[in-house]
Structure 1
């Protein structure tokens, strides 16, 4: 009698160990969120955040899992690491040395690039920590209470050291989660922060309902819209274009190999949840600095970049489309795929092996990546605009839903891979097996 999918987890010590590592590191991260940075009145800071929860501060606080609101040692979260990754990946395209490390040096080159990314993370965190410390010194809660208890260079240096150490620790946790656990550690940290804030978001929604600021009809409409968006995300994340590949028959010794037909799966959303995370981090960095400053032109610029404003969403969509193509080009090389198909004696029916196959795969990939970019843009932008028009809570935005659903599906598919590779049923059994994820 076959065991159910969940019971099969106990039969795989390696998978069980990886799951425990993932949960343990996530729990450690959540504990660190509640460790405050010295010298800050957290009560006054939380009062300030209560007034700006529907702004870019609310988004940044959501990605940091509430760390910014508490101004904990993990206040900056994983965003400096993401920003450093963006810069290094952009430099990889234009720098011959970095390109050589990424393409030719193999594991040693990737290790060197990872080291550069870590140095960049520390540098970005130091700069952000200094500006945040200066901004906090000039901030007051709505009741007039100062946020910083004792302003000066002592507080600034303490803040820089604390935030830098916290960010480096979060970066290490993400890398350990990827290496020893299940899934992508960076995505799981952001996922954990969003999910941890879900009960508070639900509670705030019912408070609005009880106060009469949100009607039952609007609430039901919001729930229906969220379910529709989630169904659309699942459908698109599982969608793929399958390119048929035919392998010619060949004689090796006394055996005949080849002759079978297979396919090359190209996902519609090859880049996953990375583009909206990258785009959000870029748009949040200058606007966050502007929120901490009292300079008039910075305040005017921050006002233009409201999440419900036209300018913000135009830049947001443009950055999402750019990073969809950019990240897809980094993780998927049609030239290498075409060369591997040719070496194995395969070909696409009607397409010559080699350069023509490369051009064909590149052309198909560009088309489906465009549709994937438009889908991600719609998911990230339309729900925010729709919810804001209805007057609902901003927490239920498309970016958060995309990250939660996307990371959950990736996490489940990796567990499926472990179970199937050991000839056990999937986590959800035969009927619930995740298909279309490669």
Structure 2
């Protein structure tokens, strides 16, 4: 604890890092305050119905990503998710559209153009999602009396405009955090929205255990221990790498005329190279079967109903299979083994025992395929773990923190942010926050 306090003091001593953290926290507070601003014309005291509907299931997951703004009928009800959807679409389009492929190779200027395309696509998605959200409010449990000024054209126009503005504002906040603050702004906004639901979910679970004599404090302690173990497993999944040994025959040392022969390095191939993207892709597809619940055909309707329960058996079986498939798909399109092999060859490096060029690319691709299988299975198990946990009497809201997208986003963003803070500390010769980086303390 003493070392942790000392590290916090070191962080505060670095003016640039301190200012970045203050800016990040300030913008996150602004985002959370905006999430509690209800749409004009809606009585916030009559939203108990929508809160009940979003206590579990797919709507509960959407509500978790927006930090409760979805259930509050807030101006931030759609959160940052339309931007995430647009980013995924642009990324996938980059595989097939030559223009986007060209932009990806143009460096910073190309990245700015791709960001601009993503922003416009976000607005396009909002034009569809915002009206759909407003129209669905009565079916989500909001009574007619909650619409203080009725549901006329003025209400629809103003609400759609505010929902669009809210998401664009959230997108701007995320980009400002990335530019002026610390960490990835968009990811931090999603994480803070998820964490915002944590206290209420935990208190609901604790209350049900104590008041209903359902295990009491001992059961709560067991659940917390299991939760911490799941977090540990998630950290291992995010950080695990397979090191491919690389050797450079001749490399010139900086500031030295001599050549350094036989320098050895390695290529780190992640066990889970695709991160949470397979879960997000699979989650998006799992909304489609649920639409069949409104079908007039009894068979299709029963299938649709079974897929509206995110804690159901068949839902999670299909969900896990899709995650494994998308893990391979996303890894294949994001990890260019051919380019890695070419870059290695141009740099004078080679994998011991493997010929440079095509053979190296095939070798890297084979290793990547082998490690992706256990990584994808582990990812699928974490994704369906909330459904397993609920079978032991855990409340659905609290169960969502035992795995799935929520937990992996929190773990991934936390690790990424800590690594950035750690790099600032190490560059200034302070002990880092992370154990592996605490060996650079020197005297100046």
Fold conserved between structures, TM > 0.5: yes
1:34 aligns with 2:33: no
1:343 to 339, 346, 350: 346
Structure 1 residues 249 and 106 mapped into 2: Cα distance closer, same or farther (>3 Å)?
Answer: closer
User: Can you list the C-alpha shifts for 1:218-247, whole angstroms capped at 9, x where unaligned?
Assistant: 434433321221121122222110111111
Aligned to 1:76: 78
Q: CA RMSD in A?
A: 2.8
Aligned to 1:244: 245
> RCO greater where, 1 or 2, for CA within 8 Å and sep 6 or more?
1
Offset of residue 165 of structure 1:
0.4
**Match runs of 1:310-321 below 5 Å:** 310-321=313-324
User: Can you list the C-alpha shifts for 1:303-347, whole angstroms capped at 9, x where unaligned?
Assistant: 523111234323422443344334434543222222222222111
Give the Cα–Cα distance (whole angstroms) in 1 for the partners of residues 239 and 251 of structure 2.
35
**Match runs of 1:415-430 below 5 Å:** 415-427=421-433
Give TM-score, length-normalised by structure 2: 0.87
**Match runs of 1:400-415 below 5 Å:** 400-415=406-421
Structure 1 residues 203 and 279 mapped into 2: Cα distance closer, same or farther (>3 Å)?
Answer: same
3-state SS of paired residue (2:266): strand
3-state SS of paired residue (1:426): coil
**Match runs of 1:28-427 below 5 Å:** 28-102=30-104, 104-137=105-138, 140-141=141-142, 146-149=145-148, 150-212=150-212, 214-216=214-216, 218-249=219-250, 254-284=257-287, 301=304, 303-381=306-384, 383-395=385-397, 396-397=399-400, 398-399=403-404, 400-427=406-433
User: Can you list the C-alpha shifts for 1:241-291, whole angstroms capped at 9, x where unaligned?
Assistant: 01111111367995223422111111212222333234334545885x899
Aligned to 2:442: none
User: Can you list the C-alpha shifts for 1:28-50, whole angstroms capped at 9, x where unaligned?
Assistant: 11111111111223232233322
Q: Is the 8 A contact 1:81 1:171 kept in 2?
A: yes
3-state SS of paired residue (1:261): strand
Structure 1 residues 251 and 412 mapped into 2: Cα distance closer, same or farther (>3 Å)?
Answer: closer
Q: Is the 8 A contact 2:57 2:310 kept in 1?
A: yes
Structure 1 residues 251 and 90 mapped into 2: Cα distance closer, same or farther (>3 Å)?
Answer: closer
Q: Is the 8 A contact 1:276 1:320 kept in 2?
A: yes
Structure 1 residues 101 and 429 mapped into 2: Cα distance closer, same or farther (>3 Å)?
Answer: closer
The alignment covers a number of residue pairs equal to 425
Give the Cα–Cα distance (whole angstroms) in 2 for the partners of residues 295 and 158 of structure 1.
32
User: Can you list the C-alpha shifts for 1:130-166, whole angstroms capped at 9, x where unaligned?
Assistant: 111112245545xx66443311222211111010000
3-state SS of paired residue (2:396): coil
Give TM-score, length-normalised by structure 1: 0.88
Give the Cα–Cα distance (whole angstroms) in 2 for the partners of residues 315 and 44 of structure 1.
37
Structure 1 residues 127 and 286 mapped into 2: Cα distance closer, same or farther (>3 Å)?
Answer: farther
Q: Which runs of 5+ in 2 are unaligned?
A: 440-444
Q: Is the 8 A contact 1:137 1:151 kept in 2?
A: no
